[in-house]
Structure 1
Amino acid sequence: MTTIDKSQVRNASTVIVLRDRETRPRILMGQRGARAVFMPNKFVFPGGAVDAADAQVPLGSPLAKPNDTRLEDDSTPGLGPALAAAAIRELFEETGQVLGHPGRWSDAPADWLDFAATGHLPHAAPLQFVFRALTPPGRPRRFDARFFLIDAADLASDPDDFSRASDELSHLQWVHLDEVRGYDMPFITEVVLSEINARVTDHTPPDSVPYFKNNEEESLFLRLRGYPMPD
């Protein structure tokens, strides 16, 4: 078994599910365990690290433009589909919610067997790339996290049914955006929420994606805009 260097930076995906945009918007959140090494007790969006198998799963729909090209900015070429797959897998594992198209596959990796059993393929088209953040040095875990926004209407599952969720997040709930500041959240989650508030009534991708790049030399605030893909 390969031992992972806990100090290394791992690519990760996080999903913000937005509901009731036209009335009183809510987002899906859960609480991390008290014994968690990374952000214990904090209320967070579902998400986690990219697994090797995520690059191999068949997507029922591809990432839409310009999300695909912006994911390529300052990143490993070709990583976008794995990031999308990881977002969909983590959403399912931690909340039981299915972002998928009807479809069957017989060779699903071990981490995808339960998702495949729902009769769906991962549906990447609704994923809107809205934020990126690199965990600062000195933390027990470091992630290069991409945040994706989707609408609850894009889910193929009942948004109130968490019966298939793992126990990684507790107190899964839909939190009103106008009440979320009362929850104990990581700083970066609060920053991302500012972006989400600005996007509640806008269903189109942002003009550019904020990127907090905290590396060993300096902390940078960048804007990811993507670049034209060749025909």
Structure 2
Amino acid sequence: MSETVAQPDAQPTAAPIKDASTVMLVRDGARGPEVFLQRRVVGMAFAAGMTVFPGGGVDRSDAAVALDWAGPEPAWWAARFGTDPGRAQALVCAAVRETFEECGVLLAGPTADSVVSDTSVYAEARGQLERRELSFAEFLTREQLVLRADLLRPWDNWITPEVEPRRYDTRFFVAVLPEGQLADGATTEADLVTWCTPDEAIDRWQRGLDVLLPPTWTQLDALREFTSTAAILEATRTIDPIMPIYDPEGEPALAFPQADRYFAALPENARLRGSQRPE
């Protein structure tokens, strides 16, 4: 029986890509707009130990069509993210669900023009959602809540490089913290959470206190130019997918928009570890 032998120059097959949503939660502070960040626990399979925005993968249940929905329709989101309406709806639903699961902020309300002010009453449901014992659509229906898509804005789109074992097509959203709500660290996925200005977050990274992957650094760098959350929400964004290209012979080894600035500002200990590729 003959045996097939892989050729030396054969290229490995890239890992499949999973849809994901990430939300940059912002609020107005004394020093300007602040953003909510969390440091992922070391044991996580993806981006372990990294400082990131709340977010995660899209679930099948996020595509449920029986939702009370306020704001731009899925077709509007589809046009801005370059996808189809069904997928866009799942991405928006995942963005709202993950924000609630990971920091207790719920972009939903009893009516299309209201938002809940105290999310602690949904603490049990939050745990059920995180354990996947309850779908987000079931939760909203049971509590008679309307998903407030109008509180979100589309922001960016990054795709994990082909060389990585786990890959995500991540849509970035931005939302202002609803009045009366508190963002917390009551999640199994983070061991530290904080509010800080984009400048403060980047300064901590440059001092080696936090690790920022290129997509996170890029969003923080973009937020630096705004003086209020209102200005952030009013920003017009052109969203083109970005997939960094890894070239071990290149300088820097990872190519993406503004890579030169990112690597030039890397703390010295991170440079010694290599290119700090996105996971």
TM range, smaller chain: 0.7 to 0.9
- 2:44–2:189 Cα contact (<8 Å) kept: no
Which one is further off, 183-192 or 22-31? Answer: 22-31
- 1:17–1:150 Cα contact (<8 Å) kept: yes
- Counterpart residue number, 2:241: 211
Mapped to 1, the partners of 2:55 and 2:146 lie a distance apart of: 18
Question: Based on CA coordinates, which of the two structures has the bigger radius of gyration?
Answer: 2
- Counterpart residue number, 1:127: 152
- 1:14–1:47 Cα contact (<8 Å) kept: yes
- Counterpart residue number, 1:190: 217
Query: Could you say if the C-alpha distance between residues 195 and 176 of structure 1 is closer, same or farther in structure 2, counting changes exceeding 3 Å?
Result: closer
Structure with the larger RCO, 1 or 2 (CA within 8 Å, 6+ apart): 1
Q: AA paired with 1:149? A: V
- Counterpart residue number, 1:69: 79
- 2:78–2:84 Cα contact (<8 Å) kept: no
Q: Give the alignment partner of residue 60 of structure 2, picking from 45, 52, 59.
A: 52
Deviations 1:83-120 (A, max 9, x none): 100000000111111111216xxxx9823256666653
Secondary structure of the residue aligned to 1:28 is strand
Q: Percent identity?
A: 25
Which one is further off, 196-205 or 26-35? Answer: 196-205
- 1:13–1:145 Cα contact (<8 Å) kept: yes
Q: Give the alignment partner of residue 81 of structure 1, picking from 80, 84, 89.
A: 89
- 1:42–1:184 Cα contact (<8 Å) kept: yes
Mapped to 2, the partners of 1:119 and 1:28 lie a distance apart of: 28
Mapped to 1, the partners of 2:45 and 2:31 lie a distance apart of: 37
Query: Could you say if the C-alpha distance between residues 114 and 96 of structure 1 is closer, same or farther in structure 2, counting changes exceeding 3 Å?
Result: farther
- Counterpart residue number, 2:251: none
Gaps of 5+ in 1: 1-5, 222-231
Q: Give the alignment partner of residue 161 of structure 2, picking from 128, 131, 136.
A: 136
> TM-score normalized by structure 1?
0.76
Mapped to 2, the partners of 1:172 and 1:147 lie a distance apart of: 19
Gaps of 5+ in 2: 1-13, 112-128, 205-209, 247-254, 258-279
Alpha-carbon deviation of 1:210?
4.2
Alpha-carbon deviation of 1:59?
4.1
**Higher-helix-fraction structure:** 2
1:158 aligns with 2:185: no
Mapped to 2, the partners of 1:200 and 1:115 lie a distance apart of: 34
- 1:16–1:45 Cα contact (<8 Å) kept: yes
Mapped to 2, the partners of 1:148 and 1:86 lie a distance apart of: 11
**Higher-strand-fraction structure:** 1
The root-mean-square deviation of aligned C-alpha atoms, in Å, is 3.2
> TM-score normalized by structure 2?
0.64
Q: Give the alignment partner of residue 91 of structure 1, picking from 90, 99, 107.
A: 99
